[in-house]
Amino acid sequence: MKINFQFKSLVLGALLGAVAVIGIAADKQSSRPIVWEVQADTYDLHASQPESNDYYWSQELTRRASQGWDIVSSRRVSDSTVEIVTKRQKK
């Protein structure tokens, strides 16, 4: 009985094995739980200019988003006060 050694099959098997090992290793790293930073803040808006309150509220939401915060909740507590809850992944 003659043994046939095929170099092409060896290389192909090694590549498939490497892909499997890399795929399993990548999955292990992503299975760690995500830790979040959460902020809940209350802001007093400009009571002297109630027509501009929505503008200042949206500016604060935009500022938070540009810093990497995800907006979980925002609500108006009164005409001049808003509450914002944000989160982002802890580094």
List, for residues 31-76, the tens digit of each pLDDT value: 677 889 999 988 777 655 656 667 777 787 888 889 989 989 888 8
Residue 4 covered by a domain: no
Q: What is the extent of the structural domain holding 43? A: 36-89
CB 45 within 8 A of CB 57: yes
Q: What pLDDT is stored for residue 50 in this prediction? A: 58
* 81, part of any domain: yes
Residue 83 within a domain: yes
Cα angle value 65/67/72 (rounded, 5°): 40
Number of domains forming the structure of the chain? 1
Is 26 part of a structural domain of the chain? no
Q: Is 48 domain-assigned?
A: yes
DSSP state of 80: T
pTM of the model: 0.53
pLDDT tens digits, one per residue of 2-41: 666 677 877 888 888 888 878 777 665 556 778 899 999 8
- 61 in a structural domain: yes
